[in-house]
Structure 1
Amino acid sequence: MKSIKIKASELKEITLFLIDNEIIFHPIISPIGYLDFASYENKKIIMILDRNIIIPIIRLLKTGELKDRFLLKLIGSLILWSDFNQIKLTAGIALSEYSHQKESSFDANIENKLFQSIFEKYSPKQWLNWALGENEDIISAKIEEKIEHNFFIESEHYKMHYLEMLKISQLYFNTHISIVSKFKILHNWIYNNILICKYTTCFSVLVFAEKSKIFKKQKLNFENILKICNNEAWDLTYMSFWSTQYYYEDKSEDVYLFATRDKELKDLFKLTHKESLQIYTDTFGHKIGKQIIKSIEHICLPREKPEINSLILDKLIIEEKQILKNILENYST
């Protein structure tokens, strides 16, 4: 973007708006949505944008308007604030998710071109106006439709999270086993077959405790549950891929933030980074919580990493889908 003069009061208003709405996260910089860069001077900051932020940005650029005033203010604030603080925005994972929905890179490339036009075709004054709550239409971006990047690539991160969601779904709809057994089966399966992800561990608590909305008021048929598993697997993919970036940031010049509007993702992030087993006793009570903790203690021990590749994961997906299908058939009767 070109340079623009911003009043200190305007920048403060924009920053407080983002903080109040808990949009930006990082385990140290922003563990609960409040930003503190004190320990991260002289670092290159990159922000991963969730799909639920990319969608309205693309809609705005395609149509030249966004009728939701709050969303318009949010997008304007995020883009203007990032540019002012020299924070690079990336939509890579969101575009990969979209390519998998479409089973092609074609539409994702169009979205990528539109996303890049934020910085190429629009005045920072327009983003500032939206950030300050001034409604203003823009001329929609004209994009040449051609494929330049391959976003439709296999992701082992996604496949592992899809497997986790298939297993969580199986256990959620299995009414014949206890909560303690559900956690034991889930963690044993993950320990023996794929990588362990702390975000999935905490997410399973939300699901089994009925604190997640994913299965509530849903059509209980196989295809619909698969769709839910797919959507949640992508959410977990954002988190786990991001964690592989911030895990090594002490030795890296780059620091990765994550921006999302999804309430459950925000809650999951905050819950996970409490880094405490108390989540089980707080959620299920002291007696059952202690049983769960005891049943999964061994997964914290060193292990020989299981062999993981796309062929193995694809085979497991076929097997776990069939198990889920059988459970749902019995559940519905």
Structure 2
Amino acid sequence: MSFLVMEGDEVEYIWETICQMQLVFHPKYSPDGALSYNELFELKHNKQIIVLLDRNLLSGLLKLARDGYLKDDKEMRKIALLMTWIIMNNFSASAGLALLEYGTKINDSVEPKKELQEFNNIFDYYPSMLWLRLAEGDINSIPICSLPVDPYINEINYNKEDHHLLMHIAEMLHLVFLHKQRDLSPIEKMIKFLKWNYKNLLISESTIAYVAMLFTNQPGIKAPKNSGSNDINKIIVGCKNQAWDLNYLSNWSCFHYTEENMDEIFMFATNDVLLKTIFINTYCDGGVGALIQTVFSRSDSKKIFELIKENQGTNRVKPDFGVDPNHYFHRLIEDETLRLKKAMQV
């Protein structure tokens, strides 16, 4: 990688713009997308900072390198800005979760490994200053990356659905089932979902945040794609797509909760509005508890908190996933699919 030489006002421009666009998140250092320069400057002397890219950002970056430009000029400048910010701070970027999303959707591990090689090529092929000039608008395209894209050799199975993803798929199927129950009030749906969640799965804060906002019809919060359809296959596709959004946050949170004992700090980069909203309302001041108090009435919030208290600490009876958790999760997905089918036939 070449050196990136920047003037003081360019450094300030990159930091200010990346914060304004709310592209990079972390519960402690960037809970609302507004990065702290001083905190990260101190942090990178003791930890390796790794930025996890979501699928949309990775897809845009790869297309930019393949074609030399993007039709969406704003998207192209944002990607160039993010690349400049990563390089100027000597951070690392990871496409791992985005490649897993791709692999599970196409049920293939070879194509994601080709994309991984493309991703690595980008950091080897392009001069660092090119990203800055593209971000600033001095140029409108970049050379097409001509390095070979043979599959990167590693032992990762990118088409393997992990436990987090399977849990989120089951969650989204049950959520759609409840969302379709027009006779239920928002608090009734929320209580039913929580009881089902405590009985069958582990609890995900980001899922609870999303469910609370959806059931109370918060602006910009959409149900899984195709949830209004009567085609069960379309509904399943939509549930899997939404499950992957939540899977980014729950997989990433596994790093966050243990990062004090790690040499790395993982930050999450996304330009997806819904993902940003879920993240902010999960990790900003007061977290999910504050969100519940905001979107539900005082009396309804009390009902939710009482249910949560009943299932916390020593009161919590975790579900038994058995010796084969994959079998448990797939069976739960089948049960929720059948439940949804029956409800749609009524």
- Residue type of the alignment partner of 2:204: C
Q: 2:209–2:281: 8 Å Cα contact kept in structure 1?
A: yes
- Can you list the C-alpha shifts for 1:276-298, whole angstroms capped at 9, x where unaligned? 52423321322333333334431
- Residue type of the alignment partner of 1:108: P
Gaps in structure 2 of 5+ consecutive residues? none
Residues 47/128 of structure 1: CA separation in 2 closer, same or farther (3 Å cut)? same
Give the whole-Å Cα distance in 2 for the aligned partners of 1:152 and 1:137.
Answer: 32
Aligned to 1:234: 244
Deviation (angstroms), 1:76: 1.1
Give the whole-Å Cα distance in 2 for the aligned partners of 1:195 and 1:305.
Answer: 7
Query: Alignment partner for residue 133 of structure 2, among 121, 129, 132?
Result: 129
Residues 305/288 of structure 1: CA separation in 2 closer, same or farther (3 Å cut)? closer
Give the whole-Å Cα distance in 2 for the aligned partners of 1:16 and 1:214.
Answer: 33
Deviation (angstroms), 1:215: 5.1
Aligned to 2:345: 329
- Residue type of the alignment partner of 1:227: V
Give the whole-Å Cα distance in 1 for the aligned partners of 2:226 and 2:170.
Answer: 23
Query: Alignment partner for residue 162 of structure 1, among 164, 169, 177?
Result: 169
Q: 1:220–1:328: 8 Å Cα contact kept in structure 2?
A: no
User: SS state of the match for residue 30, structure 2?
Assistant: coil
- Shifted more, 200-209 versus 142-151: the winner is 142-151
Give the whole-Å Cα distance in 1 for the aligned partners of 2:146 and 2:215.
Answer: 45
User: SS state of the match for residue 33, structure 1?
Assistant: coil
Query: Alignment partner for residue 202 of structure 2, among 195, 200, 204?
Result: 195
Give the whole-Å Cα distance in 1 for the aligned partners of 2:254 and 2:293.
Answer: 29
Aligned to 1:220: 229
- Residue type of the alignment partner of 1:253: D
Q: 1:69–1:133: 8 Å Cα contact kept in structure 2?
A: no
- Can you list the C-alpha shifts for 1:120-171, whole angstroms capped at 9, x where unaligned? 1111121111121221231243434446343112300100111111111111
Paired positions, count: 330
- Shifted more, 213-222 versus 237-246: the winner is 213-222
| RMSD of equivalent CA atoms | 1.9
Residues 87/313 of structure 1: CA separation in 2 closer, same or farther (3 Å cut)? same
Deviation (angstroms), 1:89: 0.3
- Shifted more, 291-300 versus 267-276: the winner is 291-300
- Can you list the C-alpha shifts for 1:246-302, whole angstroms capped at 9, x where unaligned? 111112111010000011111111111132524233213223333333344312333
Aligned to 1:29: 29
Deviation (angstroms), 1:186: 1.4
User: SS state of the match for residue 244, structure 2?
Assistant: helix
Q: 1:48–1:258: 8 Å Cα contact kept in structure 2?
A: yes
Residues 150-299 of structure 1 mapped to structure 2, 5 A cutoff: 150-211=157-218, 212-214=221-223, 219-221=228-230, 222-273=232-283, 274-299=286-311
User: SS state of the match for residue 45, structure 1?
Assistant: strand
- Shifted more, 290-299 versus 185-194: the winner is 290-299
Give the whole-Å Cα distance in 1 for the aligned partners of 2:338 and 2:326.
Answer: 19
User: SS state of the match for residue 59, structure 2?
Assistant: helix
TM-score normalized with structure 1 length: 0.93
- Residue type of the alignment partner of 1:230: K
Q: 1:10–1:132: 8 Å Cα contact kept in structure 2?
A: no
TM-score normalized with structure 2 length: 0.89
Deviation (angstroms), 1:12: 1.2
Aligned to 1:63: 67
